[in-house]
Amino acid sequence: MEAMAQAVGSAFNAIAASATPRTINPKASWDWQWHLTGGETPEERAKSAEMLRHAREFVADMARGQEPRWLVIVGLNGCGKSYLAERIAAWVREHGREVYARERAKAGREDLESLWTYAQEGPMFRRWQNLLTRLRQGEYHRLETDCRDWFKVIDDLGVGAIGADGEATGFAVQKMGELLDWRLRKWTVITTNFTRRQIAEQFDTRIASRLIRGSNVVCDCEGLRDYSLRVEAAQRLAGAEVAA
């Protein structure tokens, strides 16, 4: 496990040191690449490095056998939250068997083969709005699955929970609270456009509190522009260099 943790850290360090502009391939297996466009401000480069560091530490903690926790990534659309969460999920699909074996051993379960197969059947990446839509249709078994799974990405938490009157619906707040209650002390990555203050004000202060419970970590991506805007900035810079 320690060797795997060191390998993960080495990969991150190498990429952080040599990051160059690239095109994202969302279907690629986890390669720990990061989407710098060349149009980032120094502050945006620092924020991107911070996001990468938090992801590295989360995966390294899994590899080292630390107690399960959450990584909550907060930021505007297009800043890279979902991309990074997808990469973590891809790593878990490839390397998570060892982590899963350790978690089941703690629970006294020995039937690893059948349990790992079962664990792989459910989606590791869950979009909150899709789950909320299914719950409104009465498919409550989906919430039970997402509560139980040993690892889960919950993408865009809070989207679709605000009604036409601008207020969060009681049903959405209730189900969000149930999901997060059950996922405490399980490996979980959450992405959201809402800050903790907005979650407290628009949903529930108890939900906002759960995000920082125990060893959970919140990565704030405020100030990191949409990827497309950074691409445009890089193109303008390139054009200015050619003109010069």
Task: Count CB-CB contacts under 10 A for residue 3.
Answer: 8
Q: Does pLDDT of 154 surpass 50?
A: yes
Could you state, in order of their start, the residue ranges of all structural domains in the chain?
Answer: 2-243
Which class is domain 2-243? alpha beta
pLDDT confidence tier of residue 217, bands split at 50, 70 and 90: very high
Q: Give the predicted TM-score (pTM) of the model.
A: 0.79
Question: Angle, nearest 10°, between helix axes 2-18 and 42-64?
Answer: 170
Cα distance between residue 81 and residue 221, in whole Å: 8
Task: Give the rounded distance of the alpha carbon of 196 from its chain centre.
Answer: 16
In this structure, are residues 36 and 80 in contact, taking their beta carbons and an 8 Å threshold? no
Spell out the SS3 assignment of the chain. CHHHHHHHHHHHHHHHHHCCCCCCCCCCCCCCCCCCCCCCCHHHHHHHHHHHHHHHHHHHHHHHCCCCCEEEEECCCCCCHHHHHHHHHHHHHHHHHHHHHHHHHHCCCCCHHHHHHHHHHCCCEEEHHHHHHHHHCCCCHHHHHHHHCCEEEEECCCCCCECCCCCECHHHHHHHHHHHHHHCCCEEEEEECCCHHHHHHHCCHHHHHHCCCCCCEEEECCCCCCHHHHHHHHHHHHHHHHHC
pLDDT digits (tens, 9 = 90+) for 88-143: 988 888 887 777 777 777 766 655 555 555 555 557 889 999 999 999 999 988 88
Instruction: Write the single-letter amino acid at 3.
Output: A
Angstrom distances, CA of residue 142 to CA of 34, 128, 132, 194, 212: 32, 11, 10, 24, 25
- Chain segment 51-90, per-residue pLDDT in tens: 888 998 999 998 888 999 999 999 988 888 998 998 898 8
Q: Which residue has the higher pLDDT, 153 or 34?
A: 153
Please enumerate in sequence order all residues whose Cβ is within 8 A of that of 32, keeping only pairs 6 or more positions apart, or say none. Answer: 11, 12, 15, 87
Q: What is the pLDDT of residues 165-204, one digit of tens each?
A: 777 788 999 999 999 999 998 999 999 999 999 999 989 9
